[in-house]
Chain A
Amino acid sequence: MAANEFIIRQISVFSENRPGRLAAIAHALEEERVNIFAFSIAEASGFGVVRALVDHPVRAHDRLTKDGFNVAFTDVIAVRMRDEPGGLYEVARLLGEAGINIEYSYAYSGPEGAVLILRVDRPEAAIAAITAAGKDLIPSSAFA
C-alpha cells in the first residue's frame, strides 16, 4: 500500500484575528455543503491560520479562494486512537521513539472513535511507524 494513500489534504486558511472571520469561513462552507470533521485555530500576533479537515477539500478551497481568502492545502495524517486514558500517549510515544517531530496536532472524538490529526516533519516515516505498530490510519479516500 502506497504511503501517500494516507496523506490527507487539510485546508489552511489565513485569517485576521478579528470578529466575524471564523463565521465568514464557516458560513461559506455551509453554503457549499462541506462538512467539517475537525478544525483548529493557530494564532500569532494579529493573525491566525484556521486549519480544517473537511469532507470536500477541493470544493472548500475553491469557494474560500473565490471569497477572497488566502487558502492552501497542507499534508497531514490522521490516526485512530483508543478513546480511553492512554490512547494519545500510545501514538505520541510511537512517533517520539521513531524520532518523528510533531509540528502541530489536533483531535476529534466521534461515535466511531477518536482521531488524532498530525502535521509531522517526515510523513512517510510516520506512516511506516504507525502502520508497523498496527495502528489504523484514515486513508485520503475517506475525503472526496
Chain B
Amino acid sequence: MYWDELHETMRPADLEALQLRRLRATLERVGNVPFYRELLAREGIRPEETRTLDDVRKLPFTKKQDLRDGYPFGFFAVPRNKVIRIHTTSGTTGKPTVVGYTAGDLDHWSDLIARNMTMVGLTADDVFQNSVNYGMFTGGLGFHYGAEKVGMTTVPAGTGNTRRQIEMIDDFGVTALHCTPSYAMHLAEVAEEMGSDLPSLRVGMFGAEPWSDATRTELQDRLGVTAFDSYGLSELYGPGVAFECQEQDGLHIWHDSYLVEIVDPATGEPIGPGERGELVVTPLVKEAMPLLRYRTGDITMLLEDDCPCGRTQRVARFSGRVDDMLIIRGINVFPSQIEHVLMALPEVGDQFMVYVDRDERHLDEMTIEVEIKRQYFSGELADLARLQAKIVRALRDALELRTHVRLVEPGSLPRFEGKAKRVVDRRGNL
C-alpha cells in the first residue's frame, strides 16, 4: 500500500525531471535569504545556470554553523507572517538552530510522515501512541500531524509517566508506537514489571538515536512489534526524511522532496553507491527555510539494488557521525565500524579503545585495545596470538586498513557512563 504511489515509485527519468524543476525553484527561493544571495554572488554562481542535476555540485555547501550564525530568523525565505510554526534543534554547543514552517511546509511534512506510516502497514484503523517530547523537538508534532493525516486515532502521550503509558496502550488498544529506541526499552521493562505483554501493539517506529540490529531484535521480542527505523533532522523538517519499509533492509529516502548526495566528509567530493560517506541534502520543497546542500553530518551510503517494495532508492541504516570520523593514511574510519567488527567476535569483551599515532616515518598508526573474555583464555600463548591475528584480519577486511591490536587484561579498559570516549588521537598538529 502506498500513500503517494506516484512519487514513491517514480521512474528515474521522471524523478530527475521533477528534481531539476524543484531544484531551480529552490534556487529562486534562496535568493530571498541574504546569506545565500551574498554567498552565491561571492562564488559567482548564477541560479539560471543550473541546467542539470549534476550542476548541484557547483553550489556551495551549507553547514550547521551557518544556521547557528543566522539565529534566530536569518534563514527565513518568506516574510515572518507566512511562518506559522517554529521548532528549534537542541544544540549541544551554543545557541539552538531555529527552523520555520509555512502552511505549505507543514502540509508537505505531514504528507511525508503519512507516506512512512502507510509504508509500514498503518491505516485509519490503527491507534497510534506518540511517546516523544511534544515541545520544540520536531518528533512530537511531526508524527502527530502525519498520523492524523492518515486518519489514525492519535494518542499524544509525550514522554514520562511510563506506567500510565502502558495503561493507555492496553486500555486504548494501541497498535502503533513511536518513540526513541531507549525509551522503548524502558517501556518494555516497565510493561514486564506490570505483567502486561502489550497484546494490541504490532508496529514500533523508532528514531532520533542510532540503534543496532541487536536492539531491533530485543525490542521486537519484548514489545511484540515489528520495529522500523526512522530518520530525519529538524533542518530538513524533522522526522520523515527516510524510513524503513516492511523489508526492514535500508531506508527509503524521499527523492522527490530531498536531493541526495553522498560525499567524502574530508574533501566534499562525491562518493559512489556502495561506499559510506556523509549525507548531503538539498531539500526540494521547503518554503520557509530552503537550504542548499546541507551537510547533515550523518554517515550512510546509497544502496544499489532495487527494493522489492517498488519504492525509489534506499540508503543504508546510519552508522555514526562525521564528527567521529578518523582519517587514517587517507582512509576514512568510523569508530562504529570498529565496534561492529569487535562485537561480532565472541572472544572479545564489550569495551575497546582506539589510539591513533603518527610514527617516525610520518605514517598514521591505529592501535585498538581489546579485552579477552575469561572463558576464551586457554592459557596458551599461541591461542592468544592466533586470536590477535584473527582480530587484525577482521578489522582489515572491514576497514581496508592494517591496524595494531593489543590484547589487554580483563577489566583494564576504561568503562564509560554516558557518551563513551573511545578514540584518542595523538597525532597532534602537523
Interface residues of chain A, those whose CB is within 8 Å of chain B, are 10, 12, 14-16, 42, 44-49, 65, 68-74, 103
Minimum Cβ distance to chain B for residue A83 (Å): 28
> Which of B22-30, B117-125, B213-221, B403-411 faces chain A?
B403-411
Known contacts A70-B372, A72-B377: A14-B384 contact under CB 8 Å: yes
- Asked whether, in the complex, the Cβ of B381 is within 8 Å of the Cβ of A16, the reply is no
Provide the residues of chain A in CB contact with B398, threshold 8 Å.
none
Check B327 for interface membership: any CB of A closer than 8 A: no
**Least Cβ distance of B112 to chain A in Å?**
52
A-contacting residues, B133-174, CB 8 Å = none
B415 at the binding interface (Cβ < 8 Å): no
Contacts of B410 in A (CB 8 A): 68-70
Q: What separation, in Å, do the CA atoms of A71 and B388 have in the docked complex?
A: 18
A12, A15, A46, A74: most-surrounded residue (chain B CB, <10 A) = A46
Main SS class of interface, A: strand
Check A74 against B412 for contact (C-beta < 8 Å). no
Contact (A70, B374) CB under 8 Å given A16-B409, A47-B407: yes
**Cross-chain contact of B406 among A10, A46, A48, A49 (Cβ < 8 A):** A46
Q: Are B378 and A72 in contact (CB under 8 A)?
A: yes
| B381 adjacent to A48 (CB under 8 Å) | yes
B57 CB, nearest partner CB in chain A, Å:
46
Chain B contributes a number of interface residues (CB within 8 A of A) equal to 18
B171-210 vs A, Cβ < 8 Å mask (1 yes, 0 no): 0000000000000000000000000000000000000000
- Asked if residues B409 and A44 are in contact (CB atoms below 8 Å), the reply is no
Residues B378 and A44 in contact, CB atoms below 8 Å apart: no
B388 contacts which chain A residues (CB < 8 A)?
44-45
Task: Indicate if the CB atoms of B380 and A49 lie closer than 8 Å.
Answer: yes
Residues in B neighbouring A72, C-beta threshold 8 A: 377-379
1/0 contact string of B58-78 vs chain A (CB within 8 Å): 000000000000000000000
Any chain A CB within 8 A of the CB of B385?
Answer: yes
Contact status B379-A42, CB under 8 Å: no
Bound Cα distance A71, B409 (Å):
10
Interface centre among A12, A65, A70, A72, by most B CB within 10 Å? A70
Provide the residues of chain A in CB contact with B406, threshold 8 Å: 16, 46-47
